[in-house]
Structure 1
Amino acid sequence: MASRYWMVSLSVQNSATSPWGKVQEQISRNAFDTPLYHFNIPNLRVGTLDSLLALGDDILKSNSYIEGVSHKIRRQIEELERVSGAESNALTVDGVPVDSYLTRFVWDEARYPTMSPLRDIVDGIHSQVSKIEDDLKVRVAEYNNVRSQLNAINRKQSGSLAVRDLSNLVKPEDIVTSENLVTLLAVVPKYSQKDWLASYETLTNYVVPRSSKKLFEDNEYALYTVTLFRRVADNFRTNAREKGFQIRDFEFSSEAHESRKQELERLMQDQENLRSSLLQWCYTSYGEVISFLNCLFHFLWHHIQQDRYGWPFSYMFW
């Protein structure tokens, strides 16, 4: 269950320790197991009151946008972990759990100099998160493209015999090919198998007797071979279709079969590599976005503090 935090601002008049102590005392009386944390705000360069108020709406919009990006990344992490069956890992920021990061937050002066105007910092954060979102879209699209190719191959290999790829069902010894003879593949409805076996030799002249062999059967159809003279193949197809039997076009090629096998293996490896890479990227980027979001909380509370209390504003605690 996710932790929930309340953020409270206290107006500091003479001493910062006095209101903090009072709150600690009140909380301990009514909820003794509720921890309190200082939320230390650095002295940021806020400029004039008008500039701070003008920035307020933009901070709220950026906060909503960045929060949305964090949810996208988190959902992507959950999806990738679900697909792989991997155990969910605890999300972190800078290598520490999110809760620990939030309750022990320290302003990164090197990354966000406090002497920089708030507008520059907010715009910079928004720009960086926008780049992360764009990168997420590109990476997810690349991963989904490989998944789509694999799904298409799997559908061909696992669908109905009327439409699926037959190359993994037919062996070289099942096919007779010569100057005069040819082997055809017939897709026969399951309920018509007796009819097929009783009639295939008479569908046209020059059918090799007892040449039909069942190769595979699914829930709807059975796949049979039949060998006949090449010159009557078209006539056989026509007569078979009239009786409800489908003759599938098929030409066995060991080279093509091996090529398809290698392509499938390559796509499976690509999918796993992309999944692993995307998952690690999401872990890292989620931490970065949460870091950006936490910084915006500072700016948002600067705005609230200034609007409510004027200068100077108080410290925060969680």
Structure 2
Amino acid sequence: MSYWLVSLPLLETKERTWNTLQQKTTYDNNWSINFKFDIPELRVGTLDSLMTLSDDLVKTNISLESVVGKIRRTIVDVCGSPASACAIDGVPVESYLTSFQWDEAKYPSRRSLQETVTKIQEDMVKLDDDLKVRVSEYNTVKTALQNVQRKTQGNLLVRDLNTIVKPEDIVDSENLETLMVVVPKYGHAEWLKCYESLTNFIVPRSSKVLMQDHDYMLCTVTMFRRIVDDFKQECRGKGFTVRDFSFSEEAMESQQAEFTELKSTAAAKIESLNDWCQSAFSEAFSSWIHICAVRLFTESILRYGLPPKFLAAVLKPGKAENKLRSALGTIFSSGGAKYWKSEGKEDVTIGYDGEYQPYVSFSISLD
């Protein structure tokens, strides 16, 4: 969902400006739903510092929006939480924006704008770095767990046979050895016809099917040890795969213990990541909207001059965006930018958002 943050030149007073905005855009035409956007009178500084800050704020806004998006995607796509989990201290993002209140305790209005922006930038860099570390840690455990699962849940060409083969399935003596052969399903009939004659010294009727998956069957065959290599060579020529296997109860128990530990660790990591991301999202989103407020205030001072005389508002446009733009342009054209002109024309770089308007405006998306 897209919103417009606008700063409108006053039509005498804030109250009259607000009433006019409501009447023309909501009551008469239903083109938008409007909300007041609370920005205190911030510490301005010099014109040069404002011009420098204006350029910096565009980049900062993009950077913060990116961090917010990364955390949101991690919550939804990695942690599997619903989008509604992306909130600010329990307040949905839309409600937070439309009822925004400046956090005076965290960002004192007496502090210079550059100090406020720098603090937010530093906090966001730390959040972004922490997110990368936490996601990396989770992915490491997840990959290790997937590798173990692949051994126990992959197809019979790669699956760990210790989870399938039982001691009674094998013969392991001084002269005899049981091999595990992976046979394509379509070739099982051929296997039954030929396995006893692939070489000499095969124990007759020693093959049995231990397991099958979608594509393969795991078959046993017992033979004299001295012809194992010859048998493997003959199997390769027939398209049968002899798995290298040595039964070990210790290996099976060790693998099961590793799987259980990794599964528990992964569950703890994802829970920790989800909790951290929800807290981080709250901080990041709040910081982003504060940057939007600073940006709107800065552009308004550059556009309208001092002392601050403007109405900040959040507009949720309907389908008739062009009509809404036209109406705002008409209503506020006479009270628009009257500072920073060049050769009789307003400087269109101030408060610019795709198309020049006689008021400050830029869009933000909460999707």
Query: Which TM-score applies when normalising by structure 2?
Result: 0.78
RMSD: 2.3
Letter in 1 for 2:212: E
Residue correspondence of structure 1 range 1-318 to structure 2 within 5 A? 2=1, 4-12=2-10, 14-31=12-29, 35-80=33-78, 82=80, 87-313=82-308, 314-318=310-314
**1:10 is paired with a residue of what secondary structure?**
strand
8 Å CA contact retained: 2:8, 2:311: yes
Letter in 1 for 2:195: Y
Letter in 2 for 1:78: V
In the alignment, the residues of structure 1 paired with residue 85 and residue 236 of structure 2 have an alpha-carbon distance, to the nearest angstrom, of 60
In the alignment, the residues of structure 2 paired with residue 88 and residue 70 of structure 1 have an alpha-carbon distance, to the nearest angstrom, of 13
Deviation at 1:153, TM superposition (A): 3.0
Select the structure that is richer in strand. 2
Percent identity among equivalent residues?
45
8 Å CA contact retained: 1:41, 1:315: no
In the alignment, the residues of structure 2 paired with residue 99 and residue 189 of structure 1 have an alpha-carbon distance, to the nearest angstrom, of 57
Letter in 2 for 1:176: V
In the alignment, the residues of structure 1 paired with residue 38 and residue 157 of structure 2 have an alpha-carbon distance, to the nearest angstrom, of 68
Deviation at 1:14, TM superposition (A): 4.8
In the alignment, the residues of structure 2 paired with residue 259 and residue 177 of structure 1 have an alpha-carbon distance, to the nearest angstrom, of 22
- Quick check: 56-65 or 302-311, which moved more? 302-311
Query: Which TM-score applies when normalising by structure 1?
Result: 0.89
Q: List gaps (5 residues or longer) in structure 2.
A: 315-367
Please list the CA deviations of residues 160-179 of structure 1 after superposition, one character each: whole Å capped at 9, or x if unmatched: 43333222221221112223
**2:45 is paired with a residue of what secondary structure?**
coil
8 Å CA contact retained: 2:84, 2:92: no
* C-alpha distance 31-168 of structure 1, shift in aligned 2 (>3 A): farther
8 Å CA contact retained: 1:132, 1:285: yes
8 Å CA contact retained: 1:81, 1:88: no
Q: List gaps (5 residues or longer) in structure 1.
A: none
Letter in 1 for 2:257: Q
In the alignment, the residues of structure 2 paired with residue 199 and residue 15 of structure 1 have an alpha-carbon distance, to the nearest angstrom, of 97
In the alignment, the residues of structure 2 paired with residue 35 and residue 239 of structure 1 have an alpha-carbon distance, to the nearest angstrom, of 78
Letter in 2 for 1:41: I
* C-alpha distance 124-230 of structure 1, shift in aligned 2 (>3 A): same
